[in-house]
Structure 1
Amino acid sequence: MSNPDSLIKNRHIPASVLLLATSLMGAGKALAADSDIQVSPPHWWADMASPSLELMLHGDDIADDTVTVTGEGVTLVEQRSLDSDNYLFVALDVENTVPGKVTLSVTDENGQVKTLDYSFKARDDGSAQRQGFSAKDAIYLITPDRFANGDTSNDNVSGYRDKQDRSDKGGRHGGDIAGMMQHLDYISDMGFTQIWTMPLLENAMEKYSYHGYSTTDYYRIDPRFGSNQLYRQFSERAAKHGVGVIMDMILNHIGSDHPWMRDMPSSDWIHNGGEFTPTSHRRESLHDPHGVESDIRAFADGWFVPTMPDLNQSNPHLATYLIQNAIWWVEYAGLSGIRVDTYSYSDKAFLAEWTRRLMQEYPNLNIVGEEWSTNPAITAYWQQGSQRHDDYQSALPSVMDFPLQSSLMSALTQSESWDSGLRVIYDTLATDFLYGDPYNLVVFADNHDMSRVFSQLNEDKALWDIAMTVMLTTRGIPQVFYGTEILMANPGTTDHGIIRSDFPGGWQGDEVNAFSGKGLTDDQRWAQQRIKQLLSLRKSAPELFAGELVHYAPDDGVYVYFRTAQSSGTPGMMVVVNKGDARSLDLSRFEAQLSNTGTMTRLRDNKKATTSDSLSLDATSASVWLLN
């Protein structure tokens, strides 16, 4: 989401929009039985790795009240108020907590007592050791509002101003969690093993709320998508299909209609005193050895747009709130991973602690950060284990590989020469020494914030095939944007509402149905089957995609690379990209990789060849050969 181009036009509310007159706090908050005190997190779990828990209590004039806690295994450490009269922060020692309830008693200056039963739940078996997404997976990125409308009763919800209007490219179209659940068979049958959805948390904004990046309640699924319970059921049902769920989390900013904007817990809760000051978007300032502090602040403390107030994570209570919220959703919804929006825009020290705490609770979880830079030195900085110019400690397992995405598009749209064309891909992969773990990067040909790959490649089907073949066979974890498999495009526009068009068949009465194949063109059917074929290979031979990549420098418009089986360490697959005319490829150059191979089989049509033969290459093509 960190591309600043056309943010206001395509994704966000105009600056003139007024704040909500009333608060929609939602069902995600725990409420005292005899009061209007709201508590976040709404509940917690026993036997977590961290012995600490901080509750945020919100209620009228609560800041100077006194809290006592009674119950087994929970000890009150301290309580603290900040600048607002209506917030109180309660630190607890929960090291010895057992499943059950404790009682919080809140006494005001007049001696009036309000009580709240707070629950500690038992964790699911194996929760701490859950396996995150990995190189054996393939991720399907969905814009929920545009995928499938499974429940028309929640298209419009009382109290929410942004109503359904499919004719409005920037409006809500009605897709929801129920729609995704109804099509899990399609997603699984295609071969995807993970789903990353754009954010589903409440966005009680007047306009452009469909995309989800303007959070107004961190503990509530937007009711136009469903409910917290339905989201958990979605995760559970996806798991039965062999599919994990990755949550898109926003740490950097909130929506301007968030209740915090009417009553900030502290004066420094929002950067720049709660007043809009645009970010410079110069992420390089964080790494510049010649730079100045004011440039760093201009980047990190600035807002994206007036409707996205920038959070100050250097406030320790806000930092704790965001850390606990992420843990809460992983535990509550059974997540297999997290994608973090606009990663580098948040406070650096906070990001180190946020990732450390998440990995402390879930050592095998995977988290991918969005750092929209095409410079691999900058993207690599954030990944755990990378060599850095400073002593910064990061526990972030993965980053989005924007450098490779950009290189792939350049390689396929530029002419072949000594410094352009396919060598751009080679050059980018040659910088993998910068990364702590290049095999854990998330690779992609497009996403929800850029033109669709078919449009980027001028709707050239052959180039699309090369792009998708490379992305589904190179090192890393591939992500495919919904609709890419049927050649969805955005001709003549870069409007995000068009890029995120409705998936055909997701609405009753759609004349074209990509789920069933009804009405698809021959080209769309071919593309869908091509993606399915490549993903089927990933499912049937996961050891290849967990193994190493070995590539040869491109020569005369031909690029060849191998994937070696993780278990044996021997080459198991050869990929040949030909950007030029039909030709014959002499295989003798690749003898080091083919020496133990007698025959090989082309994935596309099961054609056989021997390693002593020259391969006949179709013009502008990518072929995958399984080595026998």
Structure 2
Amino acid sequence: MKKHLKNINRTLLFGLLCVISLNLACKKQTDMNPIEADATSAVVESHDISKIEPLNWWVGFKNQTLQLLVHHQNISAFTPEISYQGISIEKVHKADSSNYLFIDLNISEVTKAGKFNIVFKQDGKNDLIQTYELKSRLKDSKDYIGFDSSDAVYLITPDRFANGNPENDIAKTLNETTIDRSDNYARHGGDIQGITNHLDYIEDLGFTAIWPCPLLTNDMQQSSYHGYAMTDFYEIDPRFGTLEEYKTLSSKMSEKGMKLIMDQVANHCGLEHWWMKDLPFKNWINHQENYESNSENWDNSKSITTNHRRTTNQDIYASKIDKENMSEGWFVSSMPDLNQRNPFMATYTIQNSIWWIETANLGGIRQDTYPYPDKNFMSHWAGAIMAEYPNFSIVGEEWTTNPLLIAYWQQGNPNKDGYNSNLKSPMDFAMQEKIASGLNRDEAWDSGLIEIYQALANDFIYVKPKDIMVFPDNHDMSRIFTQLKGDIPNTKMALSYLLMLPRIPQIYYGTEILMNDFDKPGDHGLVRSDFPGGWRGDKVNAFTGIGLSDKEKDMQTFLKTVLNYRKNSKAIHDGKTIHFAPDNNIYVLFRSLGDETVAHIMNKNDTTVELDLSKFKELGLEGKTVKNLISGEQFLWHNGMLTLKDRGSVILTTKL
């Protein structure tokens, strides 16, 4: 009996020790620093903070740092604390405005995805609690594959392409709340769903990537349809749809093997951006003192606009004031110029780009007004993205017809000032201008074909010509059909030629059906006209062909044929380029790789002419069967004469 009681006492003592040990363990867990805390513990969600950006983040990046922008009334009086395994607060920065904090976090390699609370404490008063989430990445950085010379990009102005959801046409909480399709500068109702609904059409045309103009919120008083005056860098404009709809667009494109390119703006924001009413630092935007002293009565006369002298980025003789007015001047008075020399603005912009890459599974970024921001920042921005995503692609807009300036902005160019942009793809405005002007020339001695030939001959200046983006027109210039004075053979030559070049081609929506701006050439609202068939009740439907003229259908078929051939042509994607100096108003270019050779013939003669094929014997085509890509006709290549009956382009291929 005594032995039995002794055993009971030992059991009770052991249990007591276990309870004590458990209490000590719990206390130790409570006292742990943020790195040691249990990441799996339950989190009660709370959202006391007005705004925190980025909206969320991910684990598993090469760069383990994250800077949070926190905006809340008098938040600088609070001290943030985080208790989550693998996360530590490295530094907290106060801004000039008491309503901001910038919190530097370190996210270690062992950090797991999950939610945690950031507790903001203030002298024993009521704490503010904000729940934040770290997500698991859907794929590794190297698996984000950008666009390249194998792609063809379809550029869309979303408000003018297709209205897939009329229910979102008006957002009553925003400044511009009208829809008026009769007004070229009002909103027309096109949206993300409209693009998604017509992916089959875009894919069938032969495009492999889509670049929609900006889809982020533009809460401006008027002309907000174009998207370039962003008022929230983390929000899809509700008149275009929702974030989920944007992600669905990307997902459905991925299923088709297509890439989504996001149009981003690092240079400026819209005047109605939420931070313009409470700027965090005294140098958050350029010429901020002038703006803040006149903000109540702000107008064009008080703004300091850019001088647009983009050559100051390279000019060894440029004055200091010209350089400053170029990079620091406002693009227009309604678009405040962001100061990327402010380190917090710089980090904000880089993180915003990465957030969208991860959130929307992007296949590329198009960066607006590339030479206007601080050029050293732009190198840092592009470098940070490419360091994280080595197979990604960025194209930058530099509107210049000077190949020397285009070359300056391409990654790896041996610039005398040592500048390296980290930008893979500048835009080829030079080639675009020469194609249009060359085809419009009527001089008998060359009909402008030599002008085009010499433009391509300038490729020696580029580090990698096939990474440059070429186009016949875009959302900021007259449609190519307008530029070429309504000449269909010239329009076909322009399109087929640029699709044969060692470049990444971009085509603007509606080019395939001869959309034009004849009524007012160059007018932006008219250039961005509605795509027929994108709205209920449209009498003409270019998606189905109903109501299109024979000429419009013919151009649609022509472009579809060339694009779909190009889609699977290794010779055009990566082949050797050989062209022959124009003669007798004929210009011939070849692309060759392996057993595939493609010949592109531009003929500006209005009467039947003979082309001597013996001139091209170095291509080794003698005795090979070639096919006319458009007509389907096949014949045996002999070094004799080829009859060209019509002015226009002829495309021949050995790929039958």
Normalised by the length of structure 2, the TM-score is 0.88
> What is the DSSP-based 3-state SS (H/G/I as helix, E as strand, rest coil) of the residue aligned with 2:260?
strand
Aligned counterpart for 2:151 among listed residues 124, 132, 137? 137
**More helix, by proportion:** 2
Which residue in the other structure is 2:70 paired with? 57
Q: Determine if the alignment matches structure 1 residue 585 to structure 2 residue 611.
A: yes
Do 2:473 and 2:507's aligned partners in 1 also have CA atoms closer than 8 Å? yes
* CA positional deviation for 1:345: 0.4
Task: Look up the equivalent residue of 2:630 and give its one-letter code.
Answer: R
* CA positional deviation for 1:306: 0.8
* CA positional deviation for 1:541: 2.1
Do 1:583 and 1:617's aligned partners in 2 also have CA atoms closer than 8 Å? yes
Do 1:416 and 1:422's aligned partners in 2 also have CA atoms closer than 8 Å? no
Q: Determine if the alignment matches structure 1 residue 299 to structure 2 residue 326.
A: yes
> What is the DSSP-based 3-state SS (H/G/I as helix, E as strand, rest coil) of the residue aligned with 1:172?
coil
Do 1:127 and 1:331's aligned partners in 2 also have CA atoms closer than 8 Å? no
Pairwise CA RMSD of aligned residues? 1.6
Q: Determine if the alignment matches structure 1 residue 405 to structure 2 residue 432.
A: yes
Task: Look up the equivalent residue of 2:361 and give its one-letter code.
Answer: G
Number of equivalences: 595
- Take 1:330 and 1:574, find their aligned partners in 2: how far apart are those partners? 38
Q: Determine if the alignment matches structure 1 residue 623 to structure 2 residue 627.
A: no
* CA positional deviation for 1:203: 0.2
* CA positional deviation for 1:595: 4.5
Which residue in the other structure is 2:9 paired with? none
Which residue in the other structure is 1:608 paired with? 634
Which residue in the other structure is 2:207 paired with? 192
Which residue in the other structure is 2:471 paired with? 444
- Take 1:320 and 1:418, find their aligned partners in 2: how far apart are those partners? 56
Do 1:336 and 1:365's aligned partners in 2 also have CA atoms closer than 8 Å? yes
Matches within 5 A, 1:446-595: 446-493=473-520, 494-565=522-593, 568=594, 572-581=597-606, 582-595=608-621
Do 1:376 and 1:431's aligned partners in 2 also have CA atoms closer than 8 Å? yes
- Take 2:575 and 2:357, find their aligned partners in 1: how far apart are those partners? 28
> What is the DSSP-based 3-state SS (H/G/I as helix, E as strand, rest coil) of the residue aligned with 1:527?
helix
Question: Greater CA deviation, 61-70 or 363-372?
Answer: 61-70
Which residue in the other structure is 1:381 paired with? 408
> What is the DSSP-based 3-state SS (H/G/I as helix, E as strand, rest coil) of the residue aligned with 2:475?
coil
Do 2:439 and 2:447's aligned partners in 1 also have CA atoms closer than 8 Å? no
- Take 1:52 and 1:77, find their aligned partners in 2: how far apart are those partners? 9
Do 1:64 and 1:81's aligned partners in 2 also have CA atoms closer than 8 Å? no
Question: Greater CA deviation, 379-388 or 440-449?
Answer: 379-388
Which residue in the other structure is 1:6 paired with? none
Aligned counterpart for 1:250 among listed residues 244, 261, 265? 265
Do 1:597 and 1:627's aligned partners in 2 also have CA atoms closer than 8 Å? no
Q: Determine if the alignment matches structure 1 residue 159 to structure 2 residue 187.
A: no
Do 1:45 and 1:123's aligned partners in 2 also have CA atoms closer than 8 Å? yes
Which residue in the other structure is 1:237 paired with? 252
- Take 1:564 and 1:108, find their aligned partners in 2: how far apart are those partners? 70
Do 2:49 and 2:129's aligned partners in 1 also have CA atoms closer than 8 Å? no
Q: Determine if the alignment matches structure 1 residue 432 to structure 2 residue 432.
A: no
- Take 2:444 and 2:265, find their aligned partners in 1: how far apart are those partners? 42
* CA positional deviation for 1:488: 0.3
Q: Could you say if the C-alpha distance between residues 264 and 604 of structure 1 is closer, same or farther in structure 2, counting changes exceeding 3 Å?
A: same
- Take 1:279 and 1:430, find their aligned partners in 2: how far apart are those partners? 33
> What is the DSSP-based 3-state SS (H/G/I as helix, E as strand, rest coil) of the residue aligned with 1:202?
coil
Task: Look up the equivalent residue of 1:593 and give its one-letter code.
Answer: L
Q: Could you say if the C-alpha distance between residues 69 and 605 of structure 1 is closer, same or farther in structure 2, counting changes exceeding 3 Å?
A: same
- Take 2:122 and 2:498, find their aligned partners in 1: how far apart are those partners? 60
Which residue in the other structure is 2:55 paired with? 42
- Take 1:507 and 1:381, find their aligned partners in 2: how far apart are those partners? 43
Task: Look up the equivalent residue of 2:91 and give its one-letter code.
Answer: E
* CA positional deviation for 1:34: 4.7
Do 1:196 and 1:248's aligned partners in 2 also have CA atoms closer than 8 Å? yes
Q: Determine if the alignment matches structure 1 residue 205 to structure 2 residue 203.
A: no
Do 2:313 and 2:375's aligned partners in 1 also have CA atoms closer than 8 Å? no
- Take 2:372 and 2:276, find their aligned partners in 1: how far apart are those partners? 20
- Take 2:183 and 2:436, find their aligned partners in 1: how far apart are those partners? 30
Which residue in the other structure is 1:92 paired with? 105
* CA positional deviation for 1:49: 1.5
Question: Greater CA deviation, 413-422 or 237-246?
Answer: 413-422
Task: Look up the equivalent residue of 2:76 and give its one-letter code.
Answer: A
- Take 1:287 and 1:397, find their aligned partners in 2: how far apart are those partners? 18
Do 2:617 and 2:639's aligned partners in 1 also have CA atoms closer than 8 Å? no
* CA positional deviation for 1:425: 1.6
Question: Greater CA deviation, 480-489 or 434-443?
Answer: 434-443
Do 1:32 and 1:114's aligned partners in 2 also have CA atoms closer than 8 Å? no
* CA positional deviation for 1:571: 5.4
Q: Determine if the alignment matches structure 1 residue 320 to structure 2 residue 347.
A: yes
Which residue in the other structure is 2:139 paired with? 125
Question: Greater CA deviation, 444-453 or 66-75?
Answer: 66-75
Aligned counterpart for 1:33 among listed residues 38, 46, 58? 46
Task: Look up the equivalent residue of 1:608 and give its one-letter code.
Answer: Q
Normalised by the length of structure 1, the TM-score is 0.92
* Identity percentage of aligned residues: 43
Which residue in the other structure is 2:357 paired with? 330
Which residue in the other structure is 1:24 paired with? none
Do 2:141 and 2:390's aligned partners in 1 also have CA atoms closer than 8 Å? no
Task: Look up the equivalent residue of 2:598 and give its one-letter code.
Answer: M
Q: Could you say if the C-alpha distance between residues 34 and 322 of structure 1 is closer, same or farther in structure 2, counting changes exceeding 3 Å?
A: closer
Q: Determine if the alignment matches structure 1 residue 76 to structure 2 residue 89.
A: yes
> What is the DSSP-based 3-state SS (H/G/I as helix, E as strand, rest coil) of the residue aligned with 2:75?
coil
Q: RCO higher in 1 or 2 (8 Å CA, sep ≥ 6)?
A: 1
Cα deviation 1:120-158 (Å, max 9, x = unaligned): 111113454221111111100001000000101101112
Question: Greater CA deviation, 269-278 or 116-125?
Answer: 269-278
Do 2:446 and 2:584's aligned partners in 1 also have CA atoms closer than 8 Å? no
Cα deviation 1:223-251 (Å, max 9, x = unaligned): 00001111011100111122210000000
Which residue in the other structure is 2:15 paired with? none
Q: Could you say if the C-alpha distance between residues 344 and 245 of structure 1 is closer, same or farther in structure 2, counting changes exceeding 3 Å?
A: same
* CA positional deviation for 1:445: 0.3
Cα deviation 1:441-494 (Å, max 9, x = unaligned): 111000000000000000111111101111211110111100000000001312
Cα deviation 1:565-604 (Å, max 9, x = unaligned): 2xx3x65101111112331000111111134662211101
* CA positional deviation for 1:32: 7.7
Cα deviation 1:550-578 (Å, max 9, x = unaligned): 2112223211111112xx3x651011111
* CA positional deviation for 1:260: 1.7
Task: Look up the equivalent residue of 2:182 and give its one-letter code.
Answer: S
Question: Greater CA deviation, 608-617 or 513-522?
Answer: 608-617
List alignment gaps of at least 5 residues for structure 1: 1-30
Do 2:163 and 2:190's aligned partners in 1 also have CA atoms closer than 8 Å? yes
Task: Look up the equivalent residue of 1:172 and give its one-letter code.
Answer: R
* CA positional deviation for 1:542: 3.8
Do 1:136 and 1:543's aligned partners in 2 also have CA atoms closer than 8 Å? no
Question: Greater CA deviation, 56-65 or 104-113?
Answer: 104-113
* CA positional deviation for 1:264: 0.7
Task: Look up the equivalent residue of 2:166 and give its one-letter code.
Answer: T
